[in-house]
Structure 1
Amino acid sequence: MTITEDTLLVLAPPDMDLTQSEYLLDRNGVRHYRCEDVAELVALASMAGGAMISEASLSGMDLSGLLRMLEGQPPWSDFPFLMLIERADSADDHDRLERYAKLGNVTFVEHPSLPLSFVGNVKTMLAGRQRQYHARRQVETMARTDLDLAVGQERQRLLVRELHHRVKNTLATVQALMSSTARSSLTVEEFRHTLLGRISALAHVHEVLTEDKWQEAPLRALFTSQLEPEAGPDFKGEAKIDGPDIKVPSHLAVPLGMAIHELTINALRYGALSQPGGSVSASWKVEAAPERMMLRIEWQEQGGPPLPVPRRRGFGTQFLERVLRQQAAADVELNYHPAGLQVIIHMPLPERTHFHLFSEA
């Protein structure tokens, strides 16, 4: 039988006639379980609704285990006993009170007793125990609430600190974009147009990160987020994106996204996307290295105008070579082939990067 919070434990000697009492318990829907000895009662008490004990069953018994159980009760618990005593002279009552005082919550009932009185005492005791269990659940709920509140407050503090950190980094990035754009722009209009494009590109990267709670960004989404706003929604006819599904962490996603933006703008102004028939392909794969996995990204342009080697290093070139190296520990290779610009980026991946080694069909 499974002992539950409304189960009455019964302890009585074999020679005591409890047939009538158990009949009354069954008739009134009181779950009960007869224990073999005090040790079994002690083992089950923490799960039960109370105990009905005959005075005779305790005669000569070692009650030390029972007393230890009672002393070790949690604050919400006051385990109840219904003790059956034989009809006796009232002079014995004082001795009984002293003898069983250490049991604490004891109700004495003469046996045999009137059925209504007996059942009423049992149900009153079990109802009192139910209130104790209810108090325990309230205490546990309050404890969980306090813990959840403390965890929530700590998480909020961490999020606020993280937000401050990100805002600071974002403002520093915008400031750097403004300075670099100003140095490379020949007119105010060129400065305005270029700066707005770069800030918009940064916003697109943030949108991709926000969709994944700022933890990681799908590399495919980074390419799409930069190519579609600049080359138009039909860019897929002019740009092929191919590689395994891989997510890069936020500290790599921002510089990567900005690098893709610079490559896209360069292709639209001077490269393969500046004239009909031109196309670009962006592909990547994960390669094994002695220390960690490496991400190899290749940007290849074809069908554009002849591409001479530039005489000066513009913002895009500096961004690719300097910023990717500093922020992503990447090696960048720029090849100005007559057929079109080729850019190869080798970047170490964090150990927990998520990727599948299968390309889309």
Structure 2
Amino acid sequence: MVHRLTWYEPQRGDEYLREFFITGLMDIGATLILQDAEGKYSCITTLPMRFRLTGSEPPTDRGLFGEDIGRRLEDMKARLRQPGDHAEMEIDAGDDTFFEFRCRMITMANGQNNLMTVVIDRTEDRRRERLLRALLREVSHRSKNLLAIIQSIASQTARYSGSLNAFLGKFRGRLHALSQSQDLITDSSWSGAYFRDLLRQQIEKYVQDGAADLIQVTGENVLLTPNASLHVGLALHELTVNAVSHGDFVARRQRIEVNCERVREEGKDAVRITWTEPLGPTDGEAPARSARFGSTVLERVVPASVNGSAVHEVRPGSVYYELTFPLDAEA
């Protein structure tokens, strides 16, 4: 027998098909209800546990679904009079559960009109929709933050660049550092990035393989918030590029010491990151070195963006940078 792309063997019998359909309805979380034209119930399958079905009295909409939902169903069904008439509505059943009711007037094989109602549990669908909306809001929030960071970087880079080529070189490098940090944040489902992963990204890009062991990392591998990850990654980029471009730690085979640790600042958990880079023995180079390291990004942009503070000094024999900020620093 073929009817609207439906086929079955009539000789299988009603019992065989009944078991098949009920099992299928249970699997997809659907309820099928059949009533005659006067509203008398003739069949109910796989009713959800939250609704009541007792054998003491004939079922009714209000008896099955409660006064409020039952009244709304009765009103909707009353408008269905001719075969093909249909209506649907979604109901908040309480306790964060949602059900969709689809009602249709149909003509049975015996020529009688019957009212068919399909009830579908939409609870998981609504939860997924709420999660998706929350994720989209988070994406929008993060995107706006990232654009604000890029705007700030562009402004500061342009202010301290003497030519267009110098601006483009610095700006591209800083954008690349941001994109790498953002990749780490995205891979962690926006929970943030670990400090050593942020440092490793910069070492791999700017420090030759033979010199990577000259950057010694100690302390804790702290998981930083997304906002802190972006800005700490930017600070590490500045420090690494400066050390490679202007320093002599590679030629002299002296280690840069990097440390990250949890501390207590004003009664709150905080993170302290330090960078100690060895300098050559010529004291006369210190003023120029100090001017080069007078980076607005390191001294102003990064600490202000993570609600922290920074120390940036050229000391006898070394360049020292210290960044301290709250552990939960977020935009």
Structure 2 residue aligned with 1:279? 255
Give distance in 2, aligned partners of 1:303 and 1:234. Answer: 20
Partner of 2:233: 257
Q: Which runs of 5+ in 1 are unaligned?
A: 1-72, 80-101, 106-138, 353-361
Q: 1:104 to 1:192 in 2, by over 3 A?
A: closer
**Deviation per CA, 1:258-279, whole angstroms, max 9, x where unpaired?**
0111111111122244634243
For 1:209, the equivalent position in structure 2 comes to 185
Q: What are the equivalent positions in structure 2 for 1:329-344 lying under 5 Å apart? A: 329-344=307-322
CA 1:75–1:184: 2 relative to 1, 3 Å? closer
1:343 is paired with a residue whose SS is strand
Residue pair 1:272, 1:280 contacting (<8 A) in 2 also:
no
Cα distance, 1:186 vs structure 2: 2.1
Contact 2:177 2:202 in 1 (8 A): yes
Q: 2:122 aligned with 1:146, yes or no? A: yes
Asked if 1:294 corresponds to 2:267, the answer is no
Q: Distance in 1 between matches of 2:203 and 2:121?
A: 48
Query: How far apart are 1:335 and its partner, in Å?
Result: 2.2
Q: Hey, what's the Cα distance between the residues in 2 that align with 1:148 and 1:270?
A: 57
Match of 2:302 in 1: 324
CA pair 308-140 structure 1, distance change in 2 beyond 3 A: closer
- Is 1:240 the counterpart of 2:216? The answer is yes
Higher strand share: 2
For structure 2, list consecutive stretches of 5 or more residues without a partner in the other structure: 1-48, 60-96, 101-118
Contact 1:263 1:316 survives alignment (8 Å): no
Give 1:94-105 correspondences, 5 Å limit.
Answer: none
- Contact 1:277–1:304 under 8 Å retained in 2: no
- Output the TM-score relative to the length of structure 1: 0.55
1:119-153 per-position Cα deviation (integer Å, ceiling 9, x unaligned): xxxxxxxxxxxxxxxxxxxx999788512111211
Partners of 1:240 and 1:168 lie apart in 2 by 35
> Structure 1, residues 134-179: CA drift from partner, whole Å, max 9, x if none?
xxxxx99978851211121122122222212222222222222222
1:77 is paired with a residue whose SS is coil
Number of aligned pairs? Answer: 225
Distance 1:180 1:208 in 2: 25
* Structure 1 match to 2:146: 170
2:306 equivalent to 1:347: no
Which secondary structure does the structure 1 equivalent of 2:222 belong to? strand
Q: Is the Cα contact below 8 Å between 2:156 and 2:297 reproduced in 1?
A: no
Over 3 Å counting, the alpha-carbon distance change for 1:74 and 1:186 in structure 2 is closer
The structure number with the bigger radius of gyration is 1
- Paired-residue identity, %: 24
* Cα distance in 2 between the residues matched to 1:231 and 1:311: 20
Is 1:223 equivalent to 2:199 in the alignment?
yes
- TM-score normalized by structure 2? 0.60
Aligned-partner Cα distance in 1 for 2:164–2:154: 12
CA contact (8 A) 1:274 1:304 kept: no
Check 1:234–1:170 CA distance in 2 against 1; reply closer, same or farther (3 A cut).
farther
CA 1:229–1:316: 2 relative to 1, 3 Å: farther
Q: Deviations over 1:268-300 (max 9, x none)?
A: 122244634243110122123442122221101
Which amino acid letter does the alignment assign opposite residue 164 of structure 1?
Answer: S
